[in-house]
Amino acid sequence: MLMTSVEPSPRALFVGGFDPSGAAGVLADIKTAQEFCVYGASATTAVTVQNRFGVSEVMPVPASVVGAQLDACFADAPVDVVKTGMLVSGDVIRALTARLDVWGSRTRLIVDPVLRSTTGRSFLDDDGKDALVKQLLPRAALVTPNLLEAEELTHQVAHNEDSMSLLGDHFLALGVQAVLIKGGHLLERDPSSDEVVDILRTLDGEEYRFRRPRLIPPGARGTGCTLAAAIASGLAEGLTLRTAVENARDFVQHALERSGLTQPVGALCHAALRMQPPAPAKPRR
């Protein structure tokens, strides 16, 4: 039997917390990558106990063990994109940056700065925030904060689209190549708005404003993880940044529309694009 050569699949490495419910964290990342035909590996930074009712426990993984996981993944095969989520501490961030220096010459870094849970529980200590800003963000091809995370990291407040766009200047000044500020929280400040605006700013001066209908089901979880993982998967496939962001937003939109139909409450339907719409009911005779 003749063996034919096969082009290796794009590879993404997801670094973040483990959510046993599967709605967020590295499980959501890998499910997303699978939908983009990207091979997903992961390094777990913390084991959490959480579901739609909240986060009850967080057990950090020692930085030495996180580093060993990273070494194992990088040594296994080349990695096209690294996407980070919950990083827990400065020690974990320093372990990651050390590996990026050794292994990551061809790797693009996507940073989703997960600072706290929806209910306000801290996911990154003060030393970690300092390491994030000073050591990790300057290496990033893209950082994807939501509005609250962007405000916390820049110590600025945004009340509208234009002031939200200005937050991007603070990230670009750190050396970040691009920043995508997600504007979902603006809806809380302007309940009359019927659309969500995300703003992409790049170091070369480009800006794109992406709009989508207001569609955030109550209790929806993992939207930020899934969006960043989808962008990372698109970049691993070789898409341009703008196209990767557009495709990722479409992916999350479909996943939101299908959430709650076949999934646990609050969980996105990561297989939404593969699901056919239900067939119309046949009339009874």
180 found inside a domain: yes
User: What CATH number is associated with residue 87?
Assistant: 3.40.1190.20
282 found inside a domain: no
The pLDDT confidence band at residue 120, using thresholds 50, 70 and 90, is confident
Global pTM value = 0.90
List pLDDT tens digits, range 24-76.
999 999 999 999 999 999 999 999 998 888 889 999 999 999 999 999 999 99
Whole-number pLDDT of residue 216? 59
List pLDDT tens digits, range 143-174.
999 999 999 999 999 888 888 999 999 999 99
217 found inside a domain: yes
Whole-number pLDDT of residue 284? 43
Is residue 198's pLDDT more than 60? yes
List pLDDT tens digits, range 202-227.
999 999 999 887 665 556 788 899 99
178 found inside a domain: yes
What mean pLDDT is reported for the chain? Answer: 87
The pLDDT confidence band at residue 112, using thresholds 50, 70 and 90, is very high
2 found inside a domain: no
Whole-number pLDDT of residue 282? 47
According to DSSP, the β-strands at 39-51 and 11-18 are: parallel
Its domain, for residue 207, covers: 11-272
Radius of gyration of the chain (CA): 19
**Do the Cβ atoms of 59 and 47 come closer than 8 Å?**
yes
22 found inside a domain: yes
Contacts of 103 (CB under 8 A, 6+ apart): 70, 71, 74, 75, 79
Locate tokens 């499980």: which residue?
27
Measured distance CA(24)–CA(118) in Å, rounded: 12
285 found inside a domain: no
Whole-number pLDDT of residue 159? 86
110 found inside a domain: yes
Whole-number pLDDT of residue 222? 83
Into how many domains does the chain fold?
1
